[in-house]
Structure 1
Amino acid sequence: MAALGLRGLALPAGLTGSALAQTPDRIVVAGGVITEVLYALGLQDRIVGVDSTSQFPAEALKDKANIGYVRALSAEGVLSLKPSLVMLIEGAGPPDAISLLNESGVKLVRITDGLTPDGVATKIAAIGAAVGAAGPAGRLAARARAGFDELASLRSTVAKKRRVLFLLSLQNGRALVGGRNSTADAIISLAGGLNVADAIEGYKPMTDEAIAAAAPEMVLMMRNSSAHNITPDELFAMPSFAQTPAAAGKRLLHMDGLYLLGFGPRTPMAARDLMAAIYPEAGIPPLKTAAAP
């Protein structure tokens, strides 16, 4: 996607976009993590529209206009809300819709979707800078950094990494999994696990033979609130998964998608919860330094 905004404009790290309003009063958001941060900063009254990935807090999609899926936006739908600022997570689209928004003259900010502790802190700071809340955002970012530091200390106690497979979906029996350089890979690493699909780039299908050979000790999936969640009995009855070490204890874990893969203020806690599930015998304590926003 072409870079958005004015050429040569100096922006905070993590930001690309057109000239920024200091106190925008009608914000449209495409990206659940942006919505989460704005609510954590107490700026929810400025939001007039959110995308369908804005699942936290739950009132966001109840109280605000829904502009659709983050990668399938309608420029007309966004502009109908008369925004003073549109905030886009990296990957928002389609490109034609973003181009139309850019041409409309509405102020746009695109937020880089960092998947590391530094990337999360930079993301939070960038969101705050875009809405004139740099101070509170800096404090929220510092709290996230402290959580990641505590998480690193917990991770250092793991003697032998366990093998984890992130299963995005099963389509006609074919497994779509999270490989290297994916959000799934990043959260598994933060939790002290070993991603067994690291031979795959991004989210791609994995053959039955490859799954059996990868020998995951746990299978991780997103919890789906609107459709059937596959049960451990169903998953491990499939030949490809029946042969894995995870099948012995039917180790299938469902976690909320935005919590697990959003890479926002709650990510240290999500990684800690995943670590506790991967290593139940370790008695992983709750984080002391990262209270929920």
Structure 2
Amino acid sequence: MRFPTLLSDRPGRRPAGRELSAAIGLSLLAAASLLGAFGLPGTAFGQAPQRIVAVGGVVTEVMYALGLQDRLVGVDSTSQFPAGALRDKANVGYVRALSAEGVLSLKPSLVMLIDGAGPPGAVSLLAETGVTIARIPDETSPEGVAAKIEAIGAAVGAAAPAARLAAQTRAGFAELATLRSGIAKPRRVLFVLSVQNGRVMVGGRNSSADAIIRQAGAVNVADGIEGYKTMTDEAIMAGAPDVVLMMSHNVNHATSPDALFAMPAFAETPAARQKRLIAMDGLYLLGFGPRTPAAARDLMAAIYPEASIPPLKTAQAQ
């Protein structure tokens, strides 16, 4: 179980970073009390932060799922769910291109940063001002997703409801695993992040795209590539994807099935012959939060339409 690393910089003190871990059987209430002993906000012995900036779409999503949206004063531009988040809250910019001045103008008592948020200079400037920062781990395994929810709850003094949400999410992943065990012949899927000037950017191993493809009971064609990188035409043809997966509403990198499958890299693939292009909302597909079991189930149903995959009973839907 991982908890957020919290940083503070107050006059006369060095910036401090702590990462607390506990055995699986340790309750989050006890963990929150332990954090409170260090005088950190949002814990059992401290005042729960009331002016929170959430940086990372999944952080915002969890805050809304916990019913704590009234504490949010700002969110980043990836906070696309629920739809009202960006409408009702101040937008502090893109998760990796934050403006420290914009965040500080909201007078936050806590800034929650998903791993990878930045740039580093902006994060350092935030820490130097004395505002408390909670770094939230961004993991894609079922247990990592549950731990992410628990970390957010611990940071904002909502350990008990976060534990319930995490348990529901674990149950969804367990139900998904049962569905996955019934797939006799996994299909080959290629996640295409973008197509620009004939260059195809794909999701390789250890990417969020790779994780969702595997959760959906399929094989990632690009597992020979690390992270998000371009894939050669020859490698795509050799990979012979049965299905191509993309994000919907991707204005900057949108492409139609006809245009994609007319490209030499895709024209002779099984996916092109059957026009199998699946498009899903980016945060739903790759956010790895409470809705991820449902998202993986929906992807599974799209990859294997003949299997009549039932809806999950335990997971939060979109």
TM-score, normalising length: structure 1: 0.95
Within 2, Cα distance between the matches of 1:10 and 1:236?
47
1:130-149 matches, cutoff 5 A: 130-149=155-174
- Corresponding position of 2:25: none
Name the larger-Rg structure: 2
Amino acid at match of 1:194: V
Amino acid at match of 2:121: D
Task: Kindly report the root-mean-square deviation, in angstroms, between the aligned alpha carbons of the 2 structures.
Answer: 1.8
- Corresponding position of 1:237: 262
> Residue 20 of structure 1: CA displacement?
3.3
Within 2, Cα distance between the matches of 1:243 and 1:20?
58
Within 1, Cα distance between the matches of 2:19 and 2:206?
28
1:11 has 2:20 as partner: yes
| Aligned counterpart in structure 2 of residue 53 of structure 1, from 64, 78, 98 | 78
Q: Report if the CA contact (8 A) 2:194-2:253 is conserved.
A: no
Within 1, Cα distance between the matches of 2:165 and 2:67?
12
Deviation per CA, 1:65-119, whole angstroms, max 9, x where unpaired? 0000000001111101100000000000001111101111100000000100000
> Residue 8 of structure 1: CA displacement?
6.3
Q: Report if the CA contact (8 A) 1:50-1:66 is conserved.
A: yes
> Residue 230 of structure 1: CA displacement?
1.4
- Corresponding position of 1:194: 219
- Corresponding position of 1:152: 177
218-227 vs 56-65, which deviates more?
218-227
Amino acid at match of 1:206: M
> Residue 9 of structure 1: CA displacement?
3.7
Q: Report if the CA contact (8 A) 2:6-2:18 is conserved.
A: no
> Residue 291 of structure 1: CA displacement?
3.1
The unaligned stretches of length 5 or more in structure 1 are none
> Residue 141 of structure 1: CA displacement?
0.4
Amino acid at match of 1:21: P
- Corresponding position of 2:61: 36
Q: Secondary structure at the match of 2:262?
A: coil
> Residue 173 of structure 1: CA displacement?
1.1
1:33-182 matches, cutoff 5 A: 33-182=58-207
Within 1, Cα distance between the matches of 2:39 and 2:256?
49
Amino acid at match of 1:11: L
> Residue 7 of structure 1: CA displacement?
3.8
Q: Report if the CA contact (8 A) 1:28-1:47 is conserved.
A: yes
The unaligned stretches of length 5 or more in structure 2 are 8-14, 23-30, 43-47
Within 1, Cα distance between the matches of 2:170 and 2:284?
17
- Sequence identity percentage: 72
34-43 vs 222-231, which deviates more?
222-231
237-246 vs 217-226, which deviates more?
217-226
Task: Figure out how many residues of one structure are paired with residues of the other and give that number.
Answer: 289
Within 2, Cα distance between the matches of 1:246 and 1:124?
36
Q: Report if the CA contact (8 A) 1:12-1:129 is conserved.
A: no
